[in-house]
Structure 1
Amino acid sequence: MRGRRVAFQGERGAFTEEAALAYFGDSVELVPMRTLREVFSAVEGGGADYAVIPIENTLAGSVGEAYDLLLEHELRVYGEVILRVEHHLLSVEGATLEGIREVWSHPQAIDQCRRFLESLGANVVPMWNTAAAAKRLAEVRDARVAVIASRRAAEIYGLRILASHVEDDSNNYTRFFVLSKESRPPTGDDLTSIIFSTRHEPGALYRCLEPFAERRINLTKIESRPVRSRPWEYNFYVDIVGHVRDPVVSEALDALSRRATFVRVLGSYPKWRPRDAGRGQGGAGQGG
């Protein structure tokens, strides 16, 4: 994958950049973007070969915008990364914990550190990215301000760690999707992500899930998101164990397509294996 470009939302030091490095190693060029929409557009338009996006967190839940953009765009889920997220309170040299009056960070990070922030008693200001907050503080050098960001951001922007591990729970993990125009072949240890919608009638969801239960296909995730054009109707986002090319999965999806009003396969991809971190989870020999 050397020479490939990987788009992500944020600045250098963002958690999504860490996820990209965990997946690809240093063999790719990382391309920071301001918004998730720009990240999707970069891959679709050829400005990047892959994207890495946050999809859900064990404390703060799903990233709704990411799920909505998966529906809007034609990119494939190519892989996943599960990253242990460790938040730190950073400020400039000379700052003290007692002197902090304002804390900047991304809303998801703020949600994940709510108890610590309440005990600190400082004013909380949402920013578009944790690393962007760190970069801005490094520019203004205000000792009354701190940011919640990563240890990597502290190193990059020359900030000091005032408090470590300020997340509410140590079991703080974020799952990221790796996106591409390409599809992945089966590895024998895969997940498949799909979207479907049902008729608005009793038992409709049950009938759509029945083909998976009948074939003993495990669902690892199910979540509903509103259909924007139809109030009080929902799309269902589901992850299942298996690959779309597996005969039993293919049969279940065929049955689902006859019962649902809309079905789309987002992609089949290998389960995250930390032991393969930095190797692209299969590399070019696995479809790119």
Structure 2
Amino acid sequence: MAPHVAFQGEPGAFSEEAVRCVFDAAEVHPSATFEDVFEAVEEDAVGRAVVPIENAVFGSVRVNYDHLRTHAVTIIGELQLRIHHCLMAPEGATIDGLEVVRSHQQALGQCRDWLRAHVPGATPEATPDTAGAARVVAETGAPTTAAVASRRAAERYGLEVLAEGLQDNEQNFTRFLVLAPADTDAPPVGAGEPKTSITFVLQDNVPGALFKSLAVFALRELDLAKIESRPLVGQPGRYRFYLDVHGDLEDEAVARALDHLREITMELQVLGSYPRGATYPEGADR
């Protein structure tokens, strides 16, 4: 049976492409917002979801860090997708005649230098997703409005590609997470080395507290892949930390490190233990 997989955006979005990379025959469920995606997984309306978590050029999708903590989901896999942006518009449009360029704010940020250099007079307009921007541009048909999206979106909505390779850095990869309901025994996606994601809040905001929390991993020679911080709402100067450590939750060293970390934190949550993801398209530089 084909898995039912949710993603944020409309058909033709990069998130849909990410879904196709890891699920060959998925029944896809486009969703208007990331909140909708997480709720669909949490409520078992779908069995899986694929969401972006960070881009190599424009940084983290911070709202999804919050959703990972507040929804009953678990991370079961990840992937890195190379992002190629195209500038598209209705037939007959020209780059010189553009007045508005629409896309998701992440895509606009990833193409900021190119847009400033080639369409300096066009106003960037943020939209909920890249494919949705392409659809609206196609429906309105205005030759002065373009979208930044994937070539797949241009083909789906019948738009002309005016330029491609807009991303300001060729190493423009987005990391996506594969999610499942927290209360299901979902098999992992992928076959790479294991990785575990956690979030925690320190007990005291005192000198050396963060160092001590990271030392629990260093003492056991565990490699940290990433650390991210988010402010605690209503508590200025205090933060919640998100951390990726190489190793499986069942590994003795990882388990002992987390037990140690619990002693010096007021809150610790495991977000998932899963294989390190592949890079798509296969063979892309990373």
TM exceeds 0.5? yes
Aligned to 2:161: 161
What does residue range 102-113 of structure 1 map to in structure 2 within 5 Å? Answer: 102-113=100-111
Aligned to 1:259: 264
Amino acid corresponding to residue 191 of structure 1 in structure 2: K
Alpha-carbon distance in structure 2 between the residues aligned to 1:251 and 1:46: 32
**Larger relative strand fraction:** 2
Q: CA deviation at 1:112?
A: 0.5
2:46 pairs with 1:37: no
**Larger relative helix fraction:** 1
Post-superposition Cα deviations, 1:196-248, rounded to whole Å, max 9, x if no partner, equal 11121111111111110011100010011111132221011000101101111
Alignment root-mean-square deviation, CA: 1.6
SS in 1 for 2:2: coil
What does residue range 201-280 of structure 1 map to in structure 2 within 5 Å? Answer: 201-274=206-279
Aligned to 1:80: 78
Post-superposition Cα deviations, 1:250-285, rounded to whole Å, max 9, x if no partner, equal 1111111111111111001111124898xxxxxxxx
Alpha-carbon distance in structure 2 between the residues aligned to 1:4 and 1:224: 33
2:196 pairs, out of 192, 196, 203, with 192
Aligned to 2:7: 8
Q: Report if the CA contact (8 A) 2:192-2:276 is conserved.
A: no
Alpha-carbon distance in structure 2 between the residues aligned to 1:48 and 1:10: 16
Q: CA deviation at 1:28?
A: 1.4
Alpha-carbon distance in structure 1 between the residues aligned to 2:124 and 2:56: 22
- % identical equivalent positions: 44
Q: Report if the CA contact (8 A) 2:82-2:281 is conserved.
A: no
SS in 1 for 2:206: coil
Unmatched tracts of structure 2, length 5 or more: none
SS in 2 for 1:261: strand
2:49 pairs with 1:56: no
Aligned to 1:284: none
Amino acid corresponding to residue 13 of structure 1 in structure 2: G
Alpha-carbon distance in structure 1 between the residues aligned to 2:217 and 2:154: 46
Alpha-carbon distance in structure 1 between the residues aligned to 2:268 and 2:5: 28
When residues 188 and 97 of structure 1 are mapped into structure 2, their CA distance, relative to the original with a 3 A threshold, is closer
Alpha-carbon distance in structure 1 between the residues aligned to 2:158 and 2:277: 32
Amino acid corresponding to residue 265 of structure 1 in structure 2: V
SS in 1 for 2:262: helix
Aligned to 2:65: 67
Q: CA deviation at 1:80?
A: 0.3
Alpha-carbon distance in structure 1 between the residues aligned to 2:56 and 2:192: 26
Q: Report if the CA contact (8 A) 2:192-2:277 is conserved.
A: no
Aligned to 1:280: none
Post-superposition Cα deviations, 1:126-161, rounded to whole Å, max 9, x if no partner, equal 111100000111111111111000011011111111
Alpha-carbon distance in structure 1 between the residues aligned to 2:233 and 2:191: 36
SS in 2 for 1:264: strand
